Structure 1
Amino acid sequence: MTDNIRGILLKVTAVSIFTVMMALIKATSAEVPTGQQVFFRAFFSLLVVIGWLTARGDFPSALRTSNMFGHMWRGLAGAGAMSLRFFALGILTFPEVAALGFTTPLILTVLAALILGETVRAFRMITVALGFVGVLIVLWPTFDGYGDRSTLELIGAGAILGSAALAALAQIFVRRLVATEGTAQIVFYFSLLITLLSSLSLPFGWVIPSLGATAMLITAGLIGGVGQICLTAAYRNAPASVVAPFDYTSMLLVLAIGYFWFAETPTGWTILGASVIIVSGVVIIWREQRLGKRRNRAQSTH
């Protein structure tokens, strides 16, 4: 098995695990407040990450860092992204959350230009604009509706788009962290900081969940940690440009879980909008891959 194939399989495994994790979170959303959901997700993932790092011989050396502020910024962005996504899961259908969450690569393109000073040419900006047309398509039934439910759905949509933006910002921070930090530090401090930050929500209405909800939350945390390890291994085995498009394979699983678990039938608008967003994201990733190869060839000639 080649490294690229191994990386792809690990990426598909990771996104499948994260999809099941999100379903478990959604299933507890009527009973457990968002901050408490984030804590369970982060704390039990942290236990898995510590076990993984210990098995690799990277613990407690993973505690040593030369860029704590970088980890803190990444942790803040990650905690915000996770909180907003979990909040949205309690409002929108599972397919809607997944479709709008696919905007992260589009937002990352914009942020890379604004924060990192990367050159974004007309082709990519047109592709990003097309992706946001897909967002409008997904949301069109909400815009066309009336009453409190429509307002609540718009709040949920704003939350998931905010989550996608913060997730993109977290990726910007990771790009900076990799210059000085190893994988062990990045993974460990991400889980640790989100655990600490989410624990601050304790005074704001934590509940004693039912046995079923507790089991689902613990499972979500544990498999979330496994998914993080698979994701890290995927990018270690294959270039980002190879594995990144496989984020979108989760949509089929999302549709199945939404239908069979939550009795949610996606609208034609959701399917069409998701397709437009996915195509835009894949085109951006493909374009990045071509530009990366071109830069590498140019550097090799000097």
Structure 2
Amino acid sequence: MPHKRRMRTDRTALAIACMLMSLTLFDAMGLIIKHLSPRYGVAELSAWRNLFGMIPTLIVLYAARDWHARGRIWRLRQWRLAVGRGVILVFAQFAFYMSLGILSFATASTITYSSALFMTAFAVPLLGERVGALRWSAVLVGFVGVIWIIRPGSDSVSWAALLPLFAAACYALTGVTARLMDDDVPTPLINLYSTGVAAIGSVVLTLFMGGFSPVASLSDLMWICAMGAFGGCAVLLLIVAYRMTEQSNLAPFSYFGIPLAFVLGWLFFDESPWAELFPGALLIAAGGLLIIWRERRLARD
């Protein structure tokens, strides 16, 4: 019995490590997008990210034994839902990538962490979940933090802060609708559908907005490849983490990206937006952690 408990603990620790690495890769992808945004359009950066990001997903799908055992099925019964998730992802990426070119890196990244609050709200109409007063209070606390950062009516470009907020709502919508998919569908296949549709949508959007810009240098090409690889691997590491242990074990670590984004923005872009982020960022994290605590208590009961 102690041996089994030790193995379970080891898997949880490995899952936490995978999640922290995933958040680090997501932030690294964001840094590259902010670095490339002065020379390339938002839509084309989204297109490159999705095109290169499909490579890790295909590798994991072909390595999945269950997928091979079931006859390597590509078609999904709920393909319309999968395509819809990809369309939503196009809007999410476009808004978030645009915000990275306007706002400080830490501010744009922090606002997207309100997606946990949106997921709680969307779970009511879409999944039929019952949300009590405590969790609604947590959502309210988190949104007060978002409003604190956005500062409506101030002299700053508060409209730009609505972009990552919109992206957070879209990312939350893709997360909630993923739970509507059939349980026997491999997660990499769901991700492949979403990323593939997002790639097609962002390519069409790029062509509509004037086409792709010539890649200026070999270093830019390497950055573009790294952007897609980091984004694709981050998603897969997150999937691996959630399959290795319960979501409640990982959720407290999901806000690791907020201080990490602040440090990375300071190191690479000499940004230190203390006045913009605090105490709003603390309220966003507090609201999310309160939801997590309530979920764990309900699961225990």
Corresponding position of 2:153: 143
The alpha carbon displacement at 1:180 in A equals 4.9
Percent same amino acid at aligned positions? 26
The alpha carbon displacement at 1:159 in A equals 1.1
**Within 5 A, what are the aligned runs for 1:273-292?**
273-292=280-299
Q: Distance in 2 between matches of 1:50 and 1:185?
A: 8
The alpha carbon displacement at 1:78 in A equals 1.7
The alpha carbon displacement at 1:89 in A equals 0.6
Corresponding position of 2:3: none
Q: Distance in 1 between matches of 2:130 and 2:235?
A: 30
Query: After alignment, is 156-165 or 249-258 more displaced?
Result: 249-258
Of 233, 239, 259, the residue aligned with 2:246 is 239
TM-score by length of 2: 0.90
Q: Distance in 1 between matches of 2:206 and 2:261?
A: 31
Q: Does 1:31 align with 2:61?
A: no
The alpha carbon displacement at 1:62 in A equals 5.3
Q: Does 1:20 align with 2:28?
A: yes
The residue identity in structure 2 corresponding to 1:51 is: I
Q: Does 1:210 align with 2:221?
A: no
Q: Distance in 1 between matches of 2:127 and 2:62?
A: 34
What is the CA deviation profile of residues 229-279 of structure 1, one whole-angstrom value per residue up to 9, with x for unaligned ones? Answer: 211110110111111222211122211211111111122341311111011
Q: Distance in 1 between matches of 2:236 and 2:11?
A: 16
Q: Distance in 2 between matches of 1:235 and 1:178?
A: 17
The residue identity in structure 2 corresponding to 1:209 is: V
**Within 5 A, what are the aligned runs for 1:49-198?**
49-57=57-65, 58=67, 61=72, 63-140=74-151, 143-145=153-155, 150=156, 153-198=157-202
The residue identity in structure 2 corresponding to 1:131 is: G
CA shift in 2, pair 1:5/1:178, >3 Å: farther
Kindly indicate whether the alpha-carbon contact (under 8 Å) linking 1:62 and 1:184 is maintained by their aligned counterparts in 2: no
Corresponding position of 2:228: 221
Q: Distance in 1 between matches of 2:206 and 2:227?
A: 19
Q: Does 1:3 align with 2:41?
A: no
Of 257, 261, 267, the residue aligned with 2:268 is 261
TM-score by length of 1: 0.90
Kindly indicate whether the alpha-carbon contact (under 8 Å) linking 2:99 and 2:164 is maintained by their aligned counterparts in 1: yes
Which consecutive unaligned segments of at least 5 residues does structure 2 have?
A: 1-6
Q: Alignment length, in residue pairs? A: 287
RMSD: 1.7
Which consecutive unaligned segments of at least 5 residues does structure 1 have?
A: 295-302
Q: Distance in 1 between matches of 2:164 and 2:231?
A: 19
Kindly indicate whether the alpha-carbon contact (under 8 Å) linking 2:141 and 2:286 is maintained by their aligned counterparts in 1: no
The alpha carbon displacement at 1:282 in A equals 0.9
